[in-house]
Amino acid sequence: MNNIVILSAVNTFTVKGIEMKLKTLDVNVMISSPDSADVSRIRDEAELFVLYMEENLLNMPDDIDYLRDVCLETGKKMVLIGEQAEYDFVKFYIPDDHILDWFRRPLDMNVFLEKVNSYLEEINNEEGKKSVLVVDDDTTYLRVISEWLKDSYRVSMVNSGLQAITRLTKSSVDLILLDYEMPVVTGAKVLQMLRSEPQTRDIPVIFLTGKGDKESVKKVLELKPEGYLLKTIDKKTLLHELEVFFTKQDEVYI
C-alpha cells in the first residue's frame, strides 16, 4: 500500500477532509507538521508529500529548505495546496521537477484525487526499473541527466557527496553515477567512504568526469570504479552505456 504524508502546521477540518478523501484511493495517509524534526521521522515512508500551505509557512524557511533536501535525496515529489504567495515562497526552495502540481483553495477535490492517483499508478509501474542515483554539485546537470534517464530508470539526485552517503544509508540503489570533480568531498573520497561501509560497498559506481586526457582517466581508473563516462556524453550514448552495464550485471547473477 502506498504512503502519503500530508504536511500541515495545523490539523484543520480541511486537512482532515483531505485525509479522508485520500483514503478512498486505498492508500495509507499520515499527517505531520512541516517541521524538519517531524519530517525527518517519516521522510522515508512516503511515496508522496502533500503540503497544505498557510500564511505561517512563510515563517518556516529552514523547514522548507529541509524539505528540498528530502526531495533531492529521495527523488520524491510534492503536491502543493495554497495561495499564490505561499506557492511562490515554496517554489523558491523546491525544484520544479519535485513539485507534482499546485492547487489553489478551495480545492477541487476530484481533480486533486485524479492527479494523485495517476502519479501513484505511475510510480507503482516503475517498481521493476533499475534505480540510479546521480551525484553532482551542478544542479543544472543533475536535472538534464535525470530528464534523460527518467523513462528508463528510477532516478534520484543529490548535489553533494555527504547527501549521497546519507541517502544510501537509508535506501540502496542499483547504480551510482558519481561526479569525480566535486568540491569539499570529492568523488574519490565518496567512493572511499562507500567502500568502507558494508551497507554500501557493493553498490556499483560509474564516475562522471569532465576530463578525458590520459592522465586524468588513469587517476579515475586507479580507484577501480565500474567505469567512467565523460560529462560531454549525449543522451543516446548514455542510455546505451547504462543498458550495456546492466545487461552485464544481470548476466553475472544468472
pLDDT digits (tens, 9 = 90+) for 47-64: 899 999 988 888 899 999
pLDDT value for 53: 94
Cβ atoms within 10 Å, residue 51: 23
Report yes or no: 235 and 215 within 8 Å, Cβ to Cβ.
no
pLDDT at 217: 62
DSSP state of 107: P
d(CA 232, CA 209): 9
* Phi–psi pair at 105, nearest 5 degrees: -90, 145
The Cα 49–Cα 29 span in angstroms is 10
Domains 3-125 and 131-252 share a fold: yes
Do the beta carbons of residue 228 and residue 207 sit within 8 Å?
A: yes
In this structure, what C-alpha cell is assigned to residue 199? Answer: 551497507
Distance CA 158, CA 128 (A): 22
CB atoms within 10 A of CB 171: 13
Distance, in Å, from the CA atom of 230 to the CA atom of 210, rounded to the nearest integer, reads: 6
| pTM for the predicted model, two decimal places | 0.64
pLDDT at 175: 95
If one looks up domain 131-252 in CATH, what number appears? 3.40.50.2300
Please enumerate in sequence order all residues whose Cβ is within 8 A of that of 142, keeping only pairs 6 or more positions apart, or say none.
134, 136, 157, 159
Cβ neighbourhood burial of 142 (10 Å; 0-12, 13-18, 19+): buried
- Distance from CA of residue 237 to its chain's centroid? 23
Neighbouring-strand partners of residue 28 = 3
Residues of the chain with pLDDT under 50: none
Q: Which of 120, 96, 99 is nearest to 47 (CA)?
A: 120
pLDDT tens readout for residues 201-241: 889 999 898 776 667 667 767 778 888 899 999 999 999 99
Q: Look at residues 137, 150, 143 and name the one whose alpha carbon lies nearest to residue 178.
A: 137
Q: What is the pLDDT of residue 81?
A: 97
Written in H, E and C, the secondary structure of 69-92 is HHHHHHCCEEEEECCHHHHHHHHH
The third-level CATH classification (topology) of the domain covering 3-125 is Rossmann fold (3.40.50)
- Where are the chain's structural domains? 3-125, 131-252
10 Å CB burial of residue 90 (0-12, 13-18, 19+) is: buried
